[in-house]
Amino acid sequence: MNTLHRTALLAAAGTALVLSLTACQGDGDANSAPKSGSSVNAQSPSGKATDASTTTGSTNSAGSGSSSGSTGSNGSGGSTKSSGSSGSSGSSGSGSSGEQASASTPVCAAGDVHITAATQDGPPYTHIVLTAKNTSRHSCRLTGFPHIQFLESHKQDVPAVAKSKPEAPVVLAAGDPAYALVKLSDGGREENNEPVTAFSVMLAGDPTVIAVTAPGSAGIAVDPAKALTGYWTPELRNGADDF
C-alpha cells in the first residue's frame, strides 16, 4: 500500500510539474508574440512602403518632369510650327499691307525729303548719286525720277533712263533713303562741258524747286547733251543703273 501510494503521489507530482512547465511555456510564447509583433511593426512593410512611395514620388516627379519636358518639347514644337505659320501669314499679310500702303501712302513732297549729291567712282567724274532721305515723321511714296535742270541756259529736264525704273513705287518710311544715279558726261576732253556748282531738282507731283549743291569744291562738269538720270530706287542696282 505504501509503495502504491508513493507511486501515485510521484505520478501526480509529475503530472503537476508537466502542467506547470506547459503553462510556463504557454506564457513564454504569449510574451514572445508581442516582441515579435513589435519587431514586425518596427520593420513593417509600411516603412518600406513609405520609402517606396518616396521613390515612386521621385519617379513620378521624374515622370512628370519627363512628361512635362515632352509636353514642353511638343509645346515648343507647336510654338515653332505656329510661329512658322504666323511668319508665313505675317509675310503674306505684310506683303499685302505693303501693297495697300503703297497705294494709300501720300506722295513725297519737297518738304518731306532732303536731297544731297555725291560723286561716284573716281576722276573723270562722269556720274553723281542723288540721295533723297525722308526727313518727315511719316511714310511717303517717292515716284518717278528726279526732274533735274543743271543750267539756266538749258531749261529742259535731264532725260530719264527707262531700264532703271523699279517694278514697284518706292515707299520711304521716316528716315529711309532712296537713290538716283545721274550721268553728267562721257568723260571726254572734247565735250561741251560746263561747270555746275548747284542745280535744281523737282519731285514728281510737286512743282517746288529744290536747290542741290554740287559735290566737290569746284563743282561738277556737265555736258547737257549727254546728261541722263535714273529713277528713284531703294538701292543702286548693277545693270539697271549702269548707263
For the beta carbon of residue 237, count every other beta carbon within 10 angstroms.
15
What cell was used for 47?
A: 516603412
DSSP states of 141-181: EE-S--EEE-BTTB-SPPPBPGGG--SSPEEEPTT-EEEEE
Q: pLDDT grade, residue 148 (50/70/90)?
A: very high
> Using 50, 70 and 90 to split pLDDT, how confident is the model at 239?
very high
For residue 173, which phi and psi values (nearest 5 degrees)?
-75, 165
Residues 6+ apart with CB under 8 A from 46: none
Check residues 29 and 175 and name the one with the higher pLDDT.
Answer: 175
Cα angle for residues 38, 41, 45 (degrees, 5° grid): 155
**What is the C-alpha to C-alpha distance for residues 66 and 54, in angstroms, rounded to an integer?**
17
Region 212-224 average pLDDT:
94
Residue, of 101 and 89, whose pLDDT is higher: 101
**Cα distance between residue 222 and residue 212, in whole Å:** 15
Binning the chain into helix, strand and coil, the percentages to the nearest 5 are 45, 20, 35
Q: Is 41 helix (H, G, I), strand (E, B) or coil?
A: helix
Q: How many residues does the chain have?
A: 243
Distance of CA 149 to the CA centre of its chain: 46
Q: What are 178-207's pLDDT values in tens digits?
A: 999 999 999 887 788 999 999 999 999 999
Provide the pLDDT for residue 155. Answer: 81
16-49: pLDDT as tens digits = 444 444 444 444 444 444 343 333 333 433 444 3
pLDDT computed for residue 34 by the predictor: 39
Q: How is residue 217 annotated by DSSP? A: T
Task: Give yes or no for a contact between 135 and 222, defined as CB atoms under 8 angstroms apart.
Answer: no
- Cell numbers for 21, please give them: 512547465
Give residue-wise pLDDT tens across range 220-238: 999 999 999 999 999 999 9
> Can you tell me the mean pLDDT for 94-120?
78
pLDDT in tens, 50-98: 343 333 333 333 343 443 444 444 444 443 333 333 333 333 333 333 4
* Residue 163 in this model has a pLDDT that exceeds 60: yes
The confidence score (pLDDT) of residue 101 equals: 55
CA distance 55 to 202: 82
Q: Are 234 and 178 in contact (CB under 8 A)?
A: yes
Strand partners, 131: 116, 179
Q: How confident is the model at residue 143 (pLDDT cuts 50, 70, 90)?
A: very high
- The burial of 50, by beta-carbon neighbours within 10 Å (0-12 exposed, 13-18 middle, 19 or more buried), is given as exposed
Residue carrying C-alpha cell 512628361: 67
Q: Tell me which of 107-111, 149-153, 176-180, 189-193 is least confident.
A: 189-193
Distances, alpha carbon 142 to alpha carbons 181, 182, 234, in Å: 15, 17, 10
